[in-house]
Structure 1
Amino acid sequence: MTIWRISLQNIKTKALDAFLSVFTLSLSIALLLGIQQLKISFKHQMENNLGEIDLVIGAKGSPLQLVLASVLHLDNPTGNILYEEAKKISKSPLIKTAVPISYGDNYKGYRIIGTNDNFTAIYNAELEKGRGVKKSMEVVLGNTVAVQLHLKIGDTFFSSHGLVENDIDVHSEYLTVVGILQPTQKVIDRLIITKLESMWDIHHHAHQKEENHTKHHEEKEITSLLISFKNPSAFLIFPRRINAHTNMQAVLPKYELDRLYQYTGIGFKTISWIAYIILVISCIIIFIGFYKMVKERAFDLALLRTYGASNFQLIQMVAYQGGIIILVAFIFGSVLSKAGLYFMFEIIEKEYKQNILRELPLYEFLPIGAMVFVMIILSVSLAIYPIIKMNISTILSNEK
């Protein structure tokens, strides 16, 4: 108990040194934990939301934009393609499933996706309440949509044109909720799912005349086609055929998302190196602080030795100070990391209507904690080395 009190008193008398040690150490811990959690969150989103999608076919443009729009639903589509052309492609013997999707509307910022019955199977999504969509203007809600908007079976609402919430371009036809999906922790949780016919009817019903009704049906369009192959050989043949012989583009989503992850990885590595540099600086500050304290308190330490204190007890006193600083820094660094990520993902959630934050697994946390702990212990050990080599008689005789 006495050793603890002496340690706390030493921290109080060197409050500025203690503050600098805690601040720099907690900052490096916050950056290291934050970056690791960001990497895990982004990687999980990319891998988890691919489902069984091997290929995306859509209008020509940026391949990455097409994937972000059609798979992660984070961007605007590159354009539309003809539904009849998509149906012809779907008949290829290389294709296991081909799921058309069409969108361009939203309700309170959540995207409305026109598709067929196979869309939910991509994400292994099952109904929690109600039934599936059977006819035009019926919708099934992703679990996040139902929870956030407090919608239930039988509720109706009007969609807005575009992918951003607005009260200006609101459609006159209402949509009826007939089902709610179970939570999947995938992109489908934040989507409103309906039939393709709903999207066509919403956009054409109001101004569609009977004389061009047939023409309208011949010119149906979709946003993209999500394809799953029967065998790996199709990866080599099919995309090249689409890109060479049609006015559409075929994109491998896994390849594009891997490239995106590599690009973001450069930023992650840069911030990680900054965190390591701050950690090294923190260790140097801790070493200097403790070394100065041992040197300045040499007479007091020598006096304690003459009153019966052992070298081990003196080392304990300094070690306790280091332990207190490490503990406070870890707590403050973890809180700082959580707070920073919370505000960052709050902005993302407001913008894209999704929460992509994943909890940092213990096996990812332990290596960071162990590395920080070892480096601090090394710094403290070097600082207390003079205690071991302390010559009590010389110190006491030189003290004026």
Structure 2
Amino acid sequence: MNNWTLSLKNLLHKPLYAFLSIFALSISVGLLLGIQQLDISIQNQFENGLGDIEMVVGAKGSPLQLVLSSVLHIDNPTGNIPFSEVEKMSKNPMVKKAVPISYGDNYKGYRIVGSTFDFGDIYKAKLLKGREIENSMEAVLGNDVAQRSGLKIGDKFVSSHGLTQNSIEEHDQSFKVVGIYKTTHKVIDRLIVTNLESIWNVHEHGEEHIEEENDEVDHRHEHEKEHDNHKEDTKEITSILVSFKNPMGYMTFPRRINTTTNMQAALPKYELQRLFRFTGVGVKAISWIAYIILLISCITIFISIYKMVKERAFDLALMRTYGASNFQIIYIVALEGFVMVLASLLFGFLFSQLGLLFIVNMFKSQFQQDVVLTFSRNQMIETLLIVTVISILSILLAILPLLKMNISKIISDEK
């Protein structure tokens, strides 16, 4: 019988102690690895989703809400701004690109975003099938949308009013799918992209339909004529996605917009850093809870091994009398602790992956966004080293009585 088999049999001799020690240590390892991996993955996902967007301009309100709604598309917009602002901003010598977007409708929960040809370039999106948008009421699907909705090139679909799935307030006009983007692992994967004219046409048609039902017949044509005359002046968009030619624009342009216009400018990277500072408090709290559980589990391992040494003192003393050295005795006892630690690390990693799988699926169902799980190798190694060092320390403390074992006294007392 080798030492590994002997250690396993000793552990199974007291299964409750072994189970409690392994379970507690597994939970702490799972929490530490899981919360760190989730935090890093979400940060990378959000930062990767920014594309080439350095500033977003929209209606007054919360700058964080503006970034979440117009850049990451996981919140409601702050309002609309005039389309005429796009041309003014594009002419600024510090602005490299000003891309307008307009949204407010969805198809099965996926947002329909109206923009220009530059929108796909922001996320470096390339076509997998079909072609780019050429006419009004045409759409290109993000890869996730195409896979989950079942839409194909040439299919037609009807949009619903609002940003959540709603089959009651559907528009009359239908979109035609003309293209599908390749996977980018960015926000555009879960968007339906069309041109601005399509968004305006859908909403103008709806507004005119309501007005025709409420207005008197003899005033209907007069209203339509006035509407056409002022059509260009009343066009609105949700926000403008801006990139700069040089750092000077990044430093001065947002302040100028916020102080001299009725719009607001938000810097996505800055707002996300603020968001991560808030969420970092929760991450630290969960990490501290995990470390507390780690200490408790190591104490449990210490008590389990220490009690085993005391209860089996006679057997260990006999082994010494039959020629076993101190090192051999310590090795056999310490091996039980190492088996528990290795089992805990394995189960802890499995727990963390199962928990992350559940959270990612929940995130996907609520926000329709995949989170690509990523590891920070240095952080993972650091966490595992901390767990291993604390566990080994508890094992060493538990086997100290073996070094002071009085063999003759133990054997005589047992007789």
TM-score normalised by length of structure 1: 0.96
2:384 aligned with 1:369:
yes
Percent of aligned pairs sharing the same letter: 57
Structure 1 residue 317, shift from structure 2 partner: 1.8
**In the alignment, is residue 26 of structure 1 matched against residue 41 of structure 2?**
no
Unaligned runs of 5+ in 2: 209-220
The partner residue of 1:329 within 323, 336, 344 is 344
Paired with 1:53 and 1:133, the residues of 2 have a C-alpha distance of 22
Q: What secondary structure sits across from 1:309 in the alignment?
A: coil
Matches of 2:314 and 2:89, distance apart in 1: 87
Structure 2 match to 1:173: 173
Q: Which one of 212, 215, 230 corresponds to residue 245 of structure 2?
A: 230
Shift of 1:386: 1.8
Q: Could you tell me how far 1:83 is from its partner in structure 2?
A: 0.5
Q: Give the whole-Å Cα distance in 2 for the aligned partners of 1:119 and 1:281.
A: 53
Once the 2 structures are TM-superposed, how far is the Cα of residue 214 of structure 1 from its aligned partner?
A: 3.0
CA shift, 1:143, in A, is: 0.9
Per-residue CA deviations over 1:28-79 (Å, capped at 9, x if unaligned) read 1011011111111121022111111111100001110000001111100001
For residue 115 of structure 2, what is the amino acid of its counterpart?
T
Q: Which amino acid aligns with 1:193?
A: V
Q: Return the alpha-carbon distance in structure 1 between the equivalents of residues 9 and 172 of structure 2.
A: 73
The SS at the match of 1:184 is: coil
Query: Residue 348 in 1 paired to residue 363 in 2?
Result: yes
Equivalence for 2:398:
383
Letter in 1 for 2:251: L
- Partner Cα separation in structure 2 for residue 234 and residue 360 of structure 1: 35
Match in the other structure for 2:163:
163
Offset from partner CA, 1:274-306 (integer Å, 9 cap, x none): 111111111111111111111111111111222
Bigger mean CA offset, 73-82 vs 231-240: 231-240
Q: Is the 8 A contact 2:107 2:160 kept in 1?
A: yes
Q: Does residue 1:152 correspond to 2:152, yes or no?
A: yes
Question: Aligned pairs, how many?
Answer: 400
Deviation at 1:230, TM superposition (A): 1.0
- Aligned AA for 1:110? Y
Matched with 2:413 is: 398
Does the CA contact (< 8 Å) of 2:108 and 2:165 recur in 1? Answer: yes
Partner Cα distance (1:48, 1:315) in 2: 52
Given that residues 21 and 285 in structure 1 are in contact (C-alpha distance below 8 angstroms), is that contact kept between their aligned partners in structure 2? yes
Amino acid at match of 1:191: L
Task: Identify which of 280, 283, 291 aligns with 1:265.
Answer: 280
The whole-number CA distance in structure 1 between the counterparts of 2:68 and 2:133 is 26
Runs of 4+ more than 3 Å apart: 206-210, 361-364
Q: Secondary structure at the match of 2:247?
A: coil
How far residue 257 of structure 1 moved from its aligned partner, in angstroms, is 0.7
AA in 1 matched with 2:100: P
Unmatched tracts of structure 1, length 5 or more:
none
Separation of aligned partners in 1, 2:307 and 2:353? 34
Match of 1:296 among 311, 329, 332: 311
Which residue in the other structure is 2:327 paired with?
A: 312
Q: Map 1:4-153 to 2 at 5 A.
A: 4-153=4-153
Alpha-carbon distance in 1 for matches of 2:47, 2:234? 35
Verify the 8 A CA contact 1:54 1:228 in the aligned structure 2: yes
**Secondary structure at the residue paired with 1:136?**
coil
Q: What is the one-letter code of the residue matched to 2:129? A: K
Which residue number corresponds to residue 197 of structure 1?
197
Asked whether the equivalents of residues 77 and 223 of structure 1 are also in contact (C-alpha less than 8 Å), the reply is: yes
Partners of 2:40 and 2:376 within 8 A in 1: no
